[in-house]
């Protein structure tokens, strides 16, 4: 397998890893739209819906799980693709 074939199969994991890393960074830095959205956004924003129905700590926990999932998926793709 040459370099072109390797890059062809492995490049899609990079945006997945970046999204996961940015999500985890946002949780760590407590980006308001990610971990503490206004409850008035609940009809059209999932994080606000989660906060309204499961409490104020739930959006951060959900974002953390999603970020870890994206990073894990990206690493699995990088290793096994």
pLDDT tens digits, 39-77: 888 889 989 999 999 999 999 999 999 999 999 999 999
Question: Is 2 contained in some domain?
Answer: no
Structural domain that includes position 46:
8-80
Nearest to 21 by CA among 57, 63, 59, 77: 63
Q: Does residue 78 register a pLDDT over 80?
A: yes
Question: Is 1 contained in some domain?
Answer: no
Q: Work out how many domains the chain is built from and give that number.
A: 1
Question: Is 60 contained in some domain?
Answer: yes
Question: Is 62 contained in some domain?
Answer: yes
Answer whether 27's CB lies under 8 Å from 71's CB: no
Q: Does residue 81 register a pLDDT over 90?
A: no
Residues 21 and 2: their CA atoms lie apart, in Å, by 29
């Amino acid at each position: 397998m040459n370099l072109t074939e390797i890059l062809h199969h492995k490049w899609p994991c990079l945006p997945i890893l970046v999204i996961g890393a940015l999500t985890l960074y946002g949780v760590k830095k407590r980006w308001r739209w990610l971990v503490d959205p206004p409850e008035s956004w609940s009809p059209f924003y999932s994080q606000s819906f989660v906060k309204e129905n499961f409490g104020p700590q739930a959006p951060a926990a959900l974002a953390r799980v999603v970020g870890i999932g994206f990073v894990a998926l990206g690493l699995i793709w990088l290793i096994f693709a």
